[in-house]
Amino acid sequence: MKLVIIAGPPSAGKTAVARQIIRHRGGSEKIAFLKIDVTRAFEDKELADEFGIPTKKIYSGDLCPDHTGVMIMKDAISWAEEENADLFIIESAGLCLRCSPYTTQALGIVVLSAVSGINTPLKMGPMVALSDIAVITRIDLVSQAEKEVFRERTREVSPGLDIIETNALQGTGIRYLLRAIDEFPEITDPEKIVLRGVPPLGVCTICIGKKEIGWQKHFGVIRKLNDADYMYRGD
């Protein structure tokens, strides 16, 4: 089974890209799909209705959705294998831009919208830098020059990144993504899958529900306005 992990900000077109992959490959192989989201998601039902494939979703609630993804990924891989899937697509919630849910043995795809701000790729850091492929959507809404400038910005974050421009609703350019999936190896050993990057720190008293503002009121890994570094204040 091959594993594909799709990340990207909200409404960038992640599901549209997943849909294109399923549309083009679903005839010849069995595909399973998992959506990770925070409070509501509809993708699992939509894709199950549209393509008749096994889908699942998980809500992270108060937990960081990417952390949730990491927690449940082994279970999810087992589920997809039980479903006899040839290809397993995991779509992240796409929230804080600092996340990078990519793992080893999986093709990491970041989906970016060409109509998002020109600095968006720079703001995203590891979500772009640790991916294998950037799929830039809504390419039909921008001019040639804007495409090239957006591309240049994306390359600033990750110079060797493979970039695929697409109108994901029509499926233009998606052939290169399909080929990258073809060429990507299957999972060899799920036990050995690890995250490619370190997820953001999430250990302070805000994480456990204290609502006061100001670092003085909190413990754990905290930060002051004029300090460049994180500091640790134990309880």
Per CB under 8 A, the list member of 70, 72, 129, 142 interacting with other proteins is 142
- At its nearest, how many Å lie between other proteins and the CB of residue 111? 17
DSSP string, the chain: -EEEEEE-STTSSHHHHHHHHHHHHTTTS-EEEEEEESS---HHHHHHHHH---EEEEE-TTS-HHHHHHHHHHHHHHHHHHTT-SEEEEE----SSS----BTTSEEEEEEETTS-TTHHHHHTHHHHT-SEEEEE-GGGS-HHHHHHHHHHHHHH-TT-EEEE--TTTTTTHHHHHHHHHHSPPPS-GGG--BSSPPPP--BTTTTT----SGGG--EEE--TT-SS-EEE--
Nearer to other proteins by Cβ, of 143 and 216: the residue is 143
Q: Is 26 in the site for other proteins (CB under 8 A)?
A: no
Per CB under 8 A, the list member of 123, 151, 196, 223 interacting with other proteins is 151
Q: Is 144 in the site for other proteins (CB under 8 A)?
A: yes
Per CB under 8 A, the list member of 23, 45, 74, 175 interacting with other proteins is 175
Q: 54 near 32, Cβ under 8 Å?
A: yes
Nearer to other proteins by Cβ, of 12 and 58: the residue is 12
Q: Is 115 in the site for other proteins (CB under 8 A)?
A: yes
Q: Is 119 in the site for other proteins (CB under 8 A)?
A: yes
Q: Is 171 in the site for other proteins (CB under 8 A)?
A: yes
Nearer to other proteins by Cβ, of 29 and 140: the residue is 140
Per CB under 8 A, the list member of 170, 201, 203, 227 interacting with other proteins is 170
Q: Is 117 in the site for other proteins (CB under 8 A)?
A: yes
Tokens of 228: 């460049």
Q: 115 near 30, Cβ under 8 Å?
A: no
Q: Is 172 in the site for other proteins (CB under 8 A)?
A: yes
Q: Is 150 in the site for other proteins (CB under 8 A)?
A: yes
Q: Is 146 in the site for other proteins (CB under 8 A)?
A: yes
Nearer to other proteins by Cβ, of 141 and 203: the residue is 141
Question: Which residues lie near other proteins (CB under 8 A)?
Answer: 115, 117-119, 140-153, 163-164, 167, 170-173, 175-176
